[in-house]
A and B are shown apart, each in its own frame.
With several copies, the nearest count.
Chain A
């Protein structure tokens, strides 16, 4: 079996979820790796773009923020926030977004704002940024999370970005006509949402991880009944990730 790190497994597991032709809203960190791996292996016609307005950059180097000069270099088109978010919302495009968060609930709603009281929080985070927008408007969201009980919670301290809201048809009733949480990729597992209830369930546990371990690190009841083990990264996936996508190791260090 190949040797690989947690974040490499995460980038590759998420990258496999991208379909050819998808318009991929990437953030920084693991999400940019996932998007780039996807484009180079599974979805050559996917287009990577950023909320700041850069469409399909060459990404010869990894950007460190979504406003990095590297997201405006070699692009098809440079524009701005209005153009980027209206693209995310565009009904003729299948737009898929990667998001990270401090907390997630069973319906895939996200908190990137604060822990504790909103007005005087114990810990303040960056805030929505474009997270709320893509969660509201994109065709679907894939979230990256560290799998810890304090992050997978019964109730968010602040609901920054709407996933399936209160489950069932509640998202559509809000007036959000499409989209919702597609999947959650953690350092332990890949989680998905039940078709009808929109509750999170364990779809795949990563090699070396048990379903029980995933449950123990989840702060709400989790259906693990249909889970199977994920396919580990292939040699090709790892080679592309390490040699082409992030040769400087800025995001993922391969295991020592």
Chain B
């Protein structure tokens, strides 16, 4: 057994990870949900690099999805929900892109998207469900027949069969599996042995990671092997699923990371204000993405005062009493 850092050859910087694994047109699954555990630091690096034509496959990814759409990196979107809760009931740049016809999009539901990732993670080509029957999710295609012929796009939105184990009529929808090119996960802990531990809700991050061809894990802390192996029941993802590790403390800011920090309400409101206006949004990107050349510079700009305000209290995992309006 190597004593330390079995992950040395996969440990890299944000830019290295983006250069090595994210390409124009790649199909990308984002970890997290609305304003929690979005892989923001690497998303900023993707925007800075100017990656184009991304095909996002998303359930309810909020902040990361919206800024990627707003920055013009996204060509195509499979989505269940574009919203940031009370901070933006509908994600503004996402909504506008759809209204302006600027992106190709197709709607599923959260469970459908999660099941599609589950199917991908199980290496099965589809998975049955009852959810969605009768709705326009099943009646209306988003993608054109031309798009359907492209690689990594399902040849049809759904299929339907009668349950072959039932004597009576019993229609079931079949959902096509997803196997994205890359999944991004932001985790609290990575062990020196490469084992990943997510604390709090995992959303569909684990299904997405196991379904993807390549997995980039950004994390708050890299911890000793002895720490991560003390209670393996708590661990989330084995080392052999991961292709790149990047250590970025506060790497989910302005979204939250359980046990580490809360979402940053001031920044989310600032973002919402900016997103409502094209020129203000351009300024936002200049200031917060293009104008900072490293994650460290970004954190300096956020400032120690705010980082301390959103710091999670160990007892509860969030920042009690934080002014969240």
Contacts and interface: CB of A to CB of B under 8 A. Distances in A.
Direct contact of A and B (CB under 8 A): yes
Given A85-B114, A133-B131, A127 B34 contact: no
Interface string B123-146: 100000011111111011010000
A128 B108 contact: yes
A142 interface: no
B121 A28 contact: no
B235 A77 contact: yes
A62 to B, nearest CB: 9
A176 B147 CA distance: 29
Nearest to B170: A175
Contacts of A71: 201
Interface in A58-77: 60-61, 63-77
B232 A126 contact: no
B162 to A, nearest CB: 9
A239 interface: no
A77 B195 contact: yes
A104 to B, nearest CB: 14
Contact of B232 (A47, A66, A70, A78): A78
B109 A67 contact: no
Interface in B1-18: 1-2, 6
Interface residues of B, number: 92
Contact of A162 (B82, B112, B135): B135
A215 to B, nearest CB: 28
A89 B122 contact: yes
B134 A82 contact: no
B81 A127 contact: yes
A135 B109 CA distance: 11
Given A76-B191, A78-B233, 4 more contacts: A56-B238, A64-B87, A125-B90, A160-B135
Rank and list the top 10 A-B pairs by shortest CB-CB distance, nearest first: A65-B85, A129-B81, A126-B83, A67-B33, A69-B318, A133-B111, A132-B109, A85-B111, A81-B114, A67-B36
22 contacts: A65-B85, A74-B232, A76-B229, A78-B232, A81-B110, A82-B115, A89-B130, A93-B240, A113-B136, A124-B96, A126-B82, A128-B80, A128-B137, A129-B59, A130-B111, A132-B112, A132-B131, A162-B133, A171-B134, A175-B170, A176-B134, A250-B324
Interface of A: 23, 28-29, 44-45, 47, 51-56, 60-61, 63-82, 85-87, 89-93, 113-114, 118-133, 135-137, 158-162, 165, 171, 174-177, 248, 250
